[in-house]
Structure formats: structure tokens, C-alpha cells
Amino acid sequence: MLHLPTPDATAKLLASLLGRPVKVGAGKVDDAKLTIAGTYRSGDIANAAMCLMDAGFGAYAGAALSLLPVAVATGYVKKGRLEEDILDNCGEVLNVCSRLFTSDDQHRVTLDTRHFAPEPLPPAATALLAGGKRLDLVLDIDKYGSGMLVLAVPG
């Protein structure tokens, strides 16, 4: 069984990827706003873990990854969904987040599927949100903005 990372380990990995500080902020995650999901496979096990985020975190992280202006990301946040020019970057963030679930005694964890609004979240995401172990975070990306991120594994 996979384990959840700590908030600090999550912020550290994302800061390394994005090349700027990422801080764990205060706030509550609103599940209804989680519109982006990545499901992860571990060995033969599908849906072994999941990473969900709102449009804010997806937009700011995607923009920071390729140094797009913050105004571009803010435009996506206002729309509530991402478009092609930033989806690949957001997908890369999901891909790198697989490392958060990997440990020395576990199988390799890889990104299996990606889901972006307006596509509905997969049923496995709803099930993990309701009954799995989860780490809810509000993360602030320096000079970009903040958003919600949830990491989940089966209970």
C-alpha cells in the first residue's frame, strides 16, 4: 500500500520542479472545485493513488513551469478551466507528483490517466475522496498564486 507524503515534502518537490518557493498555506479544500485529476498505477494496481487540483493550482503551477506571465494564469483561474497552451504543463506537474507516492519498498508509481475539466472526474477519484486517506493542501506558488491540491491513496 502506498503512503501519503508530508506537506513539507510536497512543497519541496513542487518548489524544485517550478524553480520558485512553494509554501503550504492556510485554508480549506473545497472538493467541488477539484477539476483536474491524475490517477497513478503501482505495478499491476490501477488507481493506487490520485492527485487532484483546482484550476487555480493547475494554472499557476503550469504557468510557473514554463515562465508564462501570471496574468495568463489568472485568466485561466477566472475561466475556471485550462486550455491547450497550459494543459501539457499541468500534465507534467501531475507526472512529477508520482514521486510523492514512491518509496524504496514500493513498486514504481507512474501517472496512468489525466482528467481535465470539463471532463468529469473519474469514479475512482470520487471514491478516493470519500473513503481514502487524503492530504489536503492549499499551496502558494511564489509570485503566481495559490490553489488547492489533494493527494489520496486507498484507505
Domain around 91: 7-153
Q: pTM score, two decimals?
A: 0.94
Q: Are 20 and 141 within 8 A, CB to CB?
A: yes
User: 85 in a domain, yes or no?
Assistant: yes
Q: Is the pLDDT of residue 104 over 70?
A: no
pLDDT for position 43:
84
Q: Is 1 inside any structural domain?
A: no
Give 4-17 pLDDT, tens digit per residue: 999 999 999 999 99
Nearest to 35 by CA among 14, 12, 57, 4: 57
Report long-range pairs for 78-86 (Cβ below 8 Å, ≥24 apart).
79/55, 80/35, 80/55, 80/117, 81/35, 81/55, 81/116, 81/117, 81/118, 82/36, 82/55, 82/58, 82/116, 82/117, 86/58, 86/59, 86/62
The Cα–Cα gap between 44 and 33 comes to 30
DSSP state of 106: S
Instruction: Assess whether pLDDT exceeds 80 at residue 59.
Output: yes
CATH number at residue 38: 3.40.1550
Q: Is 49 a member of any domain?
A: yes
Residue at 2 is within a domain:
no
- Give the pLDDT score at 8: 96
| Cα 128 from chain centre | 14
Q: What is the pLDDT of residue 105?
A: 63
d(CA 124, CA 49): 10
Calculate mean pLDDT across residues 66-72: 94
| Tens-digit pLDDT profile for residues 110-126 | 999 999 988 888 888 88
Overall number of domains in the chain:
1
Neighbours of 24 (CB within 10 A): 15
**C-alpha–C-alpha distance, residues 41 and 140, integer Å:** 28
Q: How confident is the model at residue 106 (pLDDT cuts 50, 70, 90)?
A: low
Distance CA 64, CA 9 (A): 19
